[in-house]
Amino acid sequence: MCPTVTEFTFELRVCQWAERHWPPTGDSSDKCVLIARQLGTNHRRWDTIVIETDRRRLAERARFGADRLDGDLLRVVRNAPTEWAYYRDVLPEPSYPWRYVRDAIHTATDRGILETRRRGNRVEIRRKWEYPDWVDRIVAIENKPDLDASAARTLTEQLQHDVALALADAVWVATRATGETVEPALLEQLPVETGILTVATDDDRASTDRGTDASVVWHPRSLDRTAVGTRILDRSADNESDLSVARFEYADPEWKATKRLEIAERAYERGWRSYVDSMRPDCRWFSLRSIDGDVLPWCGANACSQSSAECSGRCPSFEPEPPNWRTRGWPLAGGPGAAIKRLLDEQRRRHRIGLGE
Ligand code: SF4
């Protein structure tokens, strides 16, 4: 259990580095970022996502609450008028029955982000606030601490899909720094549009004495999110004996714009600290530990930073918090495990409104 650096641990470190230091070029001005992990589309899930925005628009987005706005809610709040109007007169014609639009209107009203009133048997709506255009750029980072030849082959194919679709504005690969004169990642056949970051872990620091957390070894090219994208469905093998034809379909810019906003909204809700929701902070061995400036989950039973896959009710070392822990000065809401979740939730909330920790 617990190899030196699991992909999960590496990913949490990349998220924390990005939260502190993005953009890697150092040109931050008044920008701020939201970091999330494991989000994307039905076809593709990115490891780390960076949403670039600024504090003013983040504050405007915050008025709509911490929960994400799904596609139905976005359609309502983005098209709600400043003056009262019958909802069917002002909202775009849906491709599904209007009753689902009414459901979304009721949900928005219950969440306090839309005003409604009845005029006879008609429902009228009015916006409370303008929904801000709060997403500047979406950057996808694939985390591969150990980029051997086989991992690079698989990754190359995924990155080619990302570049062809251009749903994100830029794509990076984050890999573990080796300290070699030429980083091995540069020798792999990754798409030239992909940026490469080398990240120093604890062990690397001890052996190479690196002063920074991550270094850019290859800058990415910006992808054109406003252009028609290509979704590669199937491709022929890269050899002469495979005569099959590649299959693909186009993704129009409107689809991409909608999908980007939905991804940003999910990132806004989840952040990267939601990892704890799929672990067992209620285990007596679970804690958070600061390791070289990064806060990572820590398993006292195995003396390592555990992955979310390992930290489950099926773990052979799992032991629930003793009930008396919950009466030794801990609030009634729970013991140390619940306190850890509250702490991470509070940090997530502060980043959502651009305050940091
Ligand atoms: S469930 Fe408990 S013992 Fe198992 S990995 Fe998580 S913290 Fe460690």
Q: Are residues 344 and 310 in the same domain?
A: yes
Give the distance (Å) from ligand 1 centre to CA of residue 45: 26
Q: Are residues 306 and 344 in the same domain?
A: yes
Q: Are residues 256 and 294 in the same domain?
A: no
Q: Are residues 234 and 279 in the same domain?
A: no
Tell me the CA distances in angstroms from 84 to 47, 55, 117, 150, one per residue in order.
43, 30, 8, 59
Residue at a domain's end among 230, 250, 270: 270
Q: Are residues 42 and 101 in the same domain?
A: no
**Closest residue to atom 2 of ligand 1, CA basis:** 318
List, for residues 315-327, the tens digit of each pLDDT value: 999 999 887 776 6
Residue at a domain's end among 246, 270, 294: 270
List, for residues 180-210, the tens digit of each pLDDT value: 777 777 778 889 999 999 988 655 554 444 4
**Closest residue to atom 8 of ligand 1, CA basis:** 299
Classify residue 1: in a domain, yes or no: no
Residue 211 has pLDDT above 90, yes or no: no
Report the DSSP pairing between strands 45-54 and 114-119.
Answer: unpaired
Among 277, 279, 280, the mutation site with the greatest number of ligand 1 atoms within 8 A of its Cβ is 280
- Residues with C-beta less than 6 Å from any ligand 1 atom: 280, 283, 285-286, 299, 301-302, 306, 310-311, 315, 317-318
Classify residue 12: in a domain, yes or no: yes
Q: Is 38 exposed, middle or buried (0-12, 13-18, 19+ CB in 10 A)?
A: middle
Residue at a domain's end among 79, 110, 127: 127
Give the distance (Å) from ligand 1 centre to CA of residue 254: 45
User: In ligand 1, which atom is closest to the CA atom of 300?
Assistant: 8
User: In ligand 1, which atom is closest to the CA atom of 302?
Assistant: 8
pLDDT for 238 equals: 57
Total number of domains constituting the chain: 3
Classify residue 157: in a domain, yes or no: yes
Radius of gyration for the chain, computed over Cα atoms and rounded to the nearest angstrom: 23
**Closest residue to atom 7 of ligand 1, CA basis:** 286
Residue 331 has pLDDT above 60, yes or no: no
Q: Are residues 299 and 199 in the same domain?
A: no
CATH code of the domain in which 36 resides? 3.40.1350
Among 277, 283, 319, the mutation site with the greatest number of ligand 1 atoms within 8 A of its Cβ is 283
By three-state DSSP, how is residue 228 classified? coil
User: In ligand 1, which atom is closest to the CA atom of 283?
Assistant: 2
Classify residue 46: in a domain, yes or no: yes
Q: Which residue matches tokens 């679709």?
A: 165
User: In ligand 1, which atom is closest to the CA atom of 281?
Assistant: 7
Q: Are residues 156 and 233 in the same domain?
A: yes
pLDDT for 212 equals: 42
Give the distance (Å) from ligand 1 centre to CA of residue 284: 8
Q: Are residues 38 and 146 in the same domain?
A: yes
Residue 51's domain comprises 7-57+134-270
Q: Are residues 174 and 238 in the same domain?
A: yes
Classify residue 76: in a domain, yes or no: yes
User: In ligand 1, which atom is closest to the CA atom of 316?
Assistant: 4
Give the distance (Å) from ligand 1 centre to CA of residue 13: 20
Classify residue 223: in a domain, yes or no: yes
Q: Are residues 73 and 185 in the same domain?
A: no
pTM beyond 0.85: the answer is yes
**Closest residue to atom 6 of ligand 1, CA basis:** 311
List, for residues 259-288, the tens digit of each pLDDT value: 999 999 999 999 999 999 999 999 999 999
Residue 29 has pLDDT above 70, yes or no: no
Classify residue 62: in a domain, yes or no: no
Q: Are residues 237 and 253 in the same domain?
A: yes
Classify residue 160: in a domain, yes or no: yes
Q: Are residues 88 and 197 in the same domain?
A: no
Q: Which long-range contacts (CB under 8 A, 24 or more apart) does 184-189 make?
A: 184/147, 185/147, 185/152, 185/217, 185/218, 186/217, 186/218, 188/147, 188/149, 188/152, 188/156, 189/152, 189/156
